[in-house]
Amino acid sequence: MRVNQDERSKNAIRIQEICNHSESTQLWQGPFMRLPNSKPMAAFADHRSYMYKGREIDKQVHLGQDLASLEHAEVPAANNGVVVFTGPLGIYGQSVILDHGWGLFSLYSHLSQIKVEKGQKVNKGGILGNTGVTGMAGGDHLHFSVLVQGKFVNPLEWWDPHWIKDQVNRQLATLVPAAATTKPMVSKPAAAAEAVPKTKAKTGKPKRH
């Protein structure tokens, strides 16, 4: 369906614009939080077909994670950040976008209600609004996306404390040497408590730092 595709690319451009400017400090800490007590409905990079009157009218790659909980479930901020967008966003419906700093953003869509305002600072777990069916949603659920420099990435990785610790922090330490000295997350384990979950990682691999 042309409307679907036109609208989709319009929405993608809009999201790109919103994610053009990011805080120059790292606001997020540790793994991202997912919608509590929710079941995954669709995963990142799922291929889906849109059917109309028994015919496939559109094919799309899903750029986020769909999570279903109770109707109108409260949606927590996945991590600390600043609200950079609230409002209708085409197929995504009523949406909130958070800037977590250093080009990292999260998107919450199909909301029935939004309880934050643009410019507002939020903490991990702070309520952004409620799930719903606004935009192109088959049923009450949360569409959750993570974007890096305006590019959709797999949210699963950002929920995973091991991945955050091994991949992201190490990468950031290499890319942003200043951050490694001001942020204690890659140095002593004791100092890293805020960035790393308290459960001990049993990877068996010795940490290089």
How many residues bind Zn ion, per CB under 5 A? 3
Tokens of 195: 């960035």
Q: How far is the CB of 10 from Zn ion (least distance, A)?
A: 17
Q: What residues pair up with 148 in beta bridges, in sequence order?
A: 104, 151
In eight-state DSSP terms, residue 132 is B
Taking CB under 5 A as the binding criterion, the range among 16-24, 56-64, 74-82, 172-180 that sits at the site for Zn ion is: 56-64
**Residue 118, number of CB atoms within 10 A of its CB:** 12
Establish if 143 lies at the interface with Zn ion (CB under 5 A). yes
Establish if 34 lies at the interface with Zn ion (CB under 5 A). no
**Residue 38, number of CB atoms within 10 A of its CB:** 19
Q: Using an 8 Å Cβ cutoff, are 72 and 107 in contact?
A: no
CA 158, CA 81: separation in Å to the nearest integer? Answer: 15
Which residue number, 31 or 93, has a Cβ lying nearer to Zn ion?
Answer: 93
Which residue number, 64 or 155, has a Cβ lying nearer to Zn ion?
Answer: 64
Establish if 99 lies at the interface with Zn ion (CB under 5 A). no
Establish if 66 lies at the interface with Zn ion (CB under 5 A). yes
Backbone torsion region of residue 167, taken as left when φ is above 0, otherwise alpha when ψ lies between -120 and 50, otherwise beta: alpha
Taking CB under 5 A as the binding criterion, the range among 9-17, 78-86, 91-99, 139-147 that sits at the site for Zn ion is: 139-147
Taking CB under 5 A as the binding criterion, the range among 32-40, 112-120, 141-149, 176-184 that sits at the site for Zn ion is: 141-149
Burial degree of 110 (CB within 10 A; 0-12, 13-18, 19+): buried
Establish if 165 lies at the interface with Zn ion (CB under 5 A). no
Q: Using an 8 Å Cβ cutoff, are 113 and 107 in contact?
A: no
Establish if 110 lies at the interface with Zn ion (CB under 5 A). no
Q: What phi, psi does 8 have (nearest 5°)?
A: -60, -45
Taking CB under 5 A as the binding criterion, the range among 46-54, 93-101, 138-146, 187-195 that sits at the site for Zn ion is: 138-146
**Residue nearest Zn ion, CB atom distance:** 143
Residues of the shown chain interacting with Zn ion in the complex, contacts defined by CB under 5 A: 64, 66, 143
